[in-house]
Amino acid sequence: MKALVIEDDVNIAELLRIYLEKEGFEVRLAADGEKGVGEAKSFSPDIVLLDIMLPVMDGWAVCKSIRKISKVPIIMLTAKGETADKVKGLELGADDYMTKPFESKELIARIRAVLRRYGKDAAGGRVLEFDRLVINMDAYELIVDGKKIDTPPKELELLFHLASSPNRVYTRNQLLDEVWGFDYFGDSRTVDVHIKRLREKLENVSDKWTLKTVWGVGYKFETAGD
Q: Rule CB under 8 A: is residue 97 a binding residue for its own copies?
A: yes
C-alpha closest to that of 128 among 177, 155, 162 = 162
Q: Rule CB under 8 A: is residue 109 a binding residue for its own copies?
A: yes
First to last CA, the chain: 31
Q: Rule CB under 8 A: is residue 140 a binding residue for its own copies?
A: yes
Q: Rule CB under 7 A: is residue 199 a binding residue for DNA?
A: yes
Residue pair 194/155 in contact by the 8 Å Cβ criterion: yes
CB nearer to its own copies: give 56 or 87: 87
Q: Rule CB under 8 A: is residue 110 a binding residue for its own copies?
A: yes
CA angle, residues 154, 110, 25, in degrees to nearest 5: 110
Q: Rule CB under 8 A: is residue 144 a binding residue for its own copies?
A: no
CB nearer to DNA: give 136 or 190: 190
Interacting positions 202-221 with DNA (CB under 7 A): 213-218
Give the C-alpha separation, 126 to 119, whole Å: 14
Least Å distance between CB 49 and its own copies? 16
DSSP 87-129: HHHHHTT--EEEESS--HHHHHHHHHHHHHHTT---S--SEEE
Q: Rule CB under 7 A: is residue 148 a binding residue for DNA?
A: no
CB nearer to DNA: give 60 or 219: 219
* Per-residue interface string for the shown chain with its own copies, residues 161-180, x marking contact by CB under 8 A: ------xxxxx-xx--x---
* Binds DNA by CB under 7 A, chosen from 110, 112, 161, 194: 194
What is the chain's alpha carbon radius of gyration, rounded to the nearest angstrom? 20
Residues written for the chain: 226
5 bridge partner residues: 29, 49
* Binds its own copies by CB under 8 A, chosen from 152, 187, 192, 199: 152
The residues that touch DNA, with contacts defined as CB under 7 A, are: 150, 152-155, 172, 180, 184, 186-187, 189-190, 192-196, 199, 213-218
